[in-house]
Amino acid sequence: MELTLSLHRANQINPDGPAIVFGQERRTWREFHAAVGRTAGMLRQLGVGRDTKVAIISMNSARFVECLYAVPWAGGVLVPVNFRLQLEEIAYIVDHADAEIVLYEEQFCDIVAELRRRIPRLRQAVVMDADRSKIAGALSYSSAVAAATALADERRGGDDLAAIFYTGGTTGVPKGVMLTHDNLFQFLLTFLTSERIDHTLVHLHVTPMFHLSCIGVLVTTAVAGTHVILPKFEPEDALRAIDEHGVTYCLSVPVMFERMLFHPNVDAYHLRSLRMLGYGASPMPPRTLEEARRRFPQLQFAQGYGMTEAPGPVYLGPEYHTKAAVDAGLTRSAGRSVPTSEVRVVDPEDREVERGTVGEIVLRGPTVMKGYWKNPEQTREVIRGGWLHTGDAGYMDAAGFVYITDRIKDMIISGGENVYSTEVEGIVSRHPAVAQCAVIGIPSDQWGESVHAIVMLRDGVSATADEIIAFCRERIAAYKCPRSVEIRQQPLPMNAAGKILKAKLREPFWAGRTRQI
């Protein structure tokens, strides 16, 4: 299986069809295919060959998509970098990955200049969106490609390394997840069969492509559909793009869709073309599904659960997003294992637990990573007996639906009782005034840890801490209820995958303590 295979097919079956929509730029599949070959030729002239690591520091763009194919076409390995990280984290990633080339947008030139100063191995920098850069010696992408000769595809595939995706780095040192061509192609095939996507796909890319949500790029190319690309997510820009370009599919996280659905100008857009919204990172709130059904009855939803180390093993399809499914609580689940993956819930000795019992979720299948780059010890820690240990706590019901209760490390032990923060968050988020919620454990002399909720309220709606606590006491056991509630005006900190950074929220409460539990 080769990542570039789908691109050759798209050029073969739909050469004159629309491939790329980015700002004023339009490209057919024939044009895009030729551009990737020339870009690969440029990379070869810069010395990119078998397993050369190429870092990309860029927002979403047509050239980002181009490079996702050109790097493996030239035989190299992709290293997408989260530009939202701090300089020290970015420098660690680029150095640790052994990157030799960096492709970047000019807005990140200061970062790249510092990377080149610190990392001797980083021998060339190419600015993607400007004729020249403030960095001395940097090449212009457009000029370098114009001077290059198209390269024949190296046809890397199978167990060859395709990309190194680094974990968020929110706790400890970021880990480089090695994904092969087979890993990513199997994820692509699972995506295609699960969501029944065909050549009519017009995909709006709003999630950052440095993240594994770039699978949407691979899927769109696989069916020779159309990429509609926004540099970053802005709710009204997304609404406008859906109407303007007849978008049929969008991959996002719940908080992004909510910002679109409840935007004050949403009524100005028809959104009749949008057929499917794929999402991950957290369940879709019932009230959001209810409002979406009211406004856009044609819109279907599908949730995917996975991790960088094993994308796409669990899926919750449109049939489980109906009103009846919401009432039955199925949308609180992550779904069931896809046909190519196996999922279990185990105890600390790796013994499978009974259905309904909380344990650690483990999985195996063809999307499980090759391992952590330069870290065989940690690889052996998480892949044991052929099973990837996710670090997620959860349970499986009698029908095989998987429910995520927490990250194992995020479990709160209060007065000797285990409290799963996501369960409490599920209750707090039902309060009509709550827009965002995170539940953490904070130090308590009496209880060891005390359940603390941090919330952001919806615009124009008010609620007090006491009201939110009383709301919870009507719905869950007293020991699980927040003992304190903090109301914030600003959105809670999130990573690129749309997950709230609980470690950052916990820091001020546990600072200076020898134990963090």
Question: What is residue 286's predicted lDDT score, i.e. its pLDDT?
Answer: 85
Query: Which of these, 496, 435, 483, lies nearest to 463 by C-alpha position?
Result: 435
Which conformational region is residue 172 in: left (phi greater than 0), alpha (psi within -120 to 50 degrees), or beta? Answer: left
Cβ within 8 Å of residue 335, ≥6 positions away: 303, 304, 305, 314, 315, 316, 317, 320, 401, 402
- Looking at residue 10, its amino acid is A
Sign of CA dihedral 174, 380, 179, 229: negative
Domain boundary among 96, 122, 156: 156
In a domain, 450, yes or no: yes
- Looking at residue 59, its amino acid is M
Question: What is residue 169's predicted lDDT score, i.e. its pLDDT?
Answer: 46
d(CA 228, CA 62): 9
Strand partners, 276: 249, 300
CA 87 to chain centre: 21
Question: What is residue 496's predicted lDDT score, i.e. its pLDDT?
Answer: 66
d(CA 247, CA 262): 19
d(CA 238, CA 250): 9
**Residue 379: half-sphere exposure toward Cβ, Cα within 13 Å:** 14
Tens digit of pLDDT at every position of the chain (517 positions): 899 999 999 999 999 999 999 999 999 999 999 999 999 999 999 999 999 999 999 999 999 999 999 999 999 999 999 888 888 889 999 999 999 999 999 999 999 999 999 999 999 999 999 999 999 999 999 999 999 999 999 999 999 999 999 986 444 578 999 999 999 999 998 888 877 788 999 999 999 999 888 888 999 999 999 999 999 999 999 999 999 999 999 998 888 898 899 999 999 999 999 999 999 877 888 888 999 988 889 999 999 998 899 998 999 999 999 999 988 989 989 999 999 999 999 999 999 999 999 999 999 999 999 999 999 999 999 999 999 999 888 999 999 999 988 777 777 877 666 687 887 888 899 999 999 999 999 988 777 789 999 999 998 899 999 999 999 998 887 878 999 999 998 889 887 667 788 888 988 998 876 445 4
d(CA 319, CA 401): 13
C-alpha triplet 416, 419, 424: angle, nearest 5°: 150
Query: Which of these, 411, 216, 420, lies nearest to 304 by C-alpha position?
Result: 216
Domain boundary among 100, 127, 156: 156
In a domain, 328, yes or no: no
For 60, the token pair is 């979403």
Number of helical (H) and strand (E) elements in the chain, helices listed first? 16, 27
For 206, the token pair is 């709003």
353 DSSP 8-state letter: P
DSSP calls for 150-210: P-------TTSEEEEEEP--SSSS--EEEEEHHHHHHHHHHHHHHHT--TT-EEEE-S-TT
In a domain, 224, yes or no: no
Strand partners, 107: none
Domain count, the chain: 2
- Looking at residue 209, its amino acid is M
Query: Which of these, 458, 456, 481, lies nearest to 470 by C-alpha position?
Result: 481
C-alpha dist (Å) from residue 402 to 276, 287, 307, 491: 22, 22, 15, 29
- CATH assignment of the domain containing 56: 3.40.50.980
Tell me the residue range of the domain where 57 lies.
20-156
Query: Which of these, 448, 344, 447, 437, lies nearest to 387 by C-alpha position?
Result: 344
In a domain, 118, yes or no: yes
Rounded to 10 degrees, the C-alpha dihedral 426/429/432/434 comes to: 170
Question: What is residue 436's predicted lDDT score, i.e. its pLDDT?
Answer: 92
Strand partners, 166: 176
Domain boundary among 134, 156, 178: 156
> Residue 375: exposed, middle, or buried by beta-carbon count in 10 A (0-12, 13-18, 19+)?
middle
In a domain, 306, yes or no: no
In a domain, 47, yes or no: yes
What is the helix (H) or strand (E) element at residue 80, kind and residue range? strand 77-80
In a domain, 200, yes or no: no
**Tokens 């699960």 identify what position?**
194
Cβ within 8 Å of residue 86, ≥6 positions away: none
- Looking at residue 186, its amino acid is Q
For 240, the token pair is 């406008």
- CATH assignment of the domain containing 498: 3.30.300.30
Tell me the whole-structure pTM to 2 decimals. 0.83
Helical H segments across 97-153, by residue range: 109-118, 141-146
Cβ within 8 Å of residue 182, ≥6 positions away: 1, 157, 158, 159, 366
Strand partners, 431: none
DSSP calls for 252-280: E-HHHHHHHHT-TTGGG---TT--EEEE-
In a domain, 287, yes or no: no
